[in-house]
Structure 1
């Protein structure tokens, strides 16, 4: 399964997408977010799978955020180490090849590169309502 996701991410990295960085939804200091895959699920009407590549510069992070209420997310670290906290769970460091998931309505309070010297990246795979365009919403403080 992880091998399939990594192969898909490597292929998808060559597809056009939209990137956001520094201050836009899903972005943050040193974060580049690119939609690399968007496909309607033929056997689940109204749902799509969307792949989002998140690349963090050394010390980079994403602001605290949530995702659409319809979204289930499965994220795999592709390179480096990612520090993450979902809801009030523990802050956890995930290494390349490790994965975590987010359920509809979860809050992602910490999402950052665990290194100040090396880049990191992850692939977040969303199963979400097909019409949903915005995938990340900042947590209102």
Structure 2
């Protein structure tokens, strides 16, 4: 084997190693992406003075997640999975996967430890409905240090 052939094979092997290592990681644009939150509805409850009903659609890209968080202290939350599958862990309860059509709730003051897409290949979304004191903002507060974590 000539030295030129050895150099060509070595370069090809190096390129193959780089490509192989790149393909072992998460797909670009999908690794630990954050959720998006879109307001859907907000209205004061006329028969419950001082309370509002607020709804948001939370969409998780494949592999996406929310950082651990708490919601407004007065917020009771009903969540309904619209598409895909969402893994959720509230308080000390074990994590559970909820699929499209399933629902869960969070009591006021609950700690939402895990909220993420259960799939690395398909998007997921949920409708979160808050019953909350009208002046109790913000609706979601990431755990200290969690806001900068992907």
Q: Normalising by structure 2, what TM-score?
A: 0.73
Question: Structure 1 residue 111 and structure 2 residue 115: aligned?
Answer: yes
Q: State the match for 1:77 in structure 2.
A: 81
Question: Would you identify which runs of 4 or more consecutive aligned residues in structure 1 move more than 3 Å?
Answer: none
**CA shift digits 1:10-66 (9 cap, x unpaired):** xxxxxxxxxxxxxxxxxx823101111000000000000000110000000000000
Question: Structure 1 residue 61 and structure 2 residue 65: aligned?
Answer: yes
CA contact (8 A) 2:58 2:127 kept: yes
**130-139 vs 116-125, greater mean Cα deviation:** 130-139
Q: State the match for 1:91 in structure 2.
A: 95
Shift of 1:125: 0.2
Q: State the match for 2:104 in structure 1.
A: 100
CA contact (8 A) 2:89 2:112 kept: yes
For these two proteins, the number of residue pairs brought into alignment is 114
Larger radius of gyration: 2
CA contact (8 A) 2:73 2:136 kept: no
Q: Which runs of 5+ in 1 are unaligned?
A: 1-27
Q: Normalising by structure 1, what TM-score?
A: 0.78
Q: Which has the higher helix share?
A: 2
For the residues of structure 2 that align with 1:50 and 1:115, how far apart are their CA atoms? 27
**CA shift digits 1:89-120 (9 cap, x unpaired):** 01000000000000011000000000000000
Given candidates 125, 128, 133, the residue that maps to 2:132 is 128
Q: Which has the higher strand share?
A: 1
SS where residue 38 of structure 2 aligns? Answer: strand
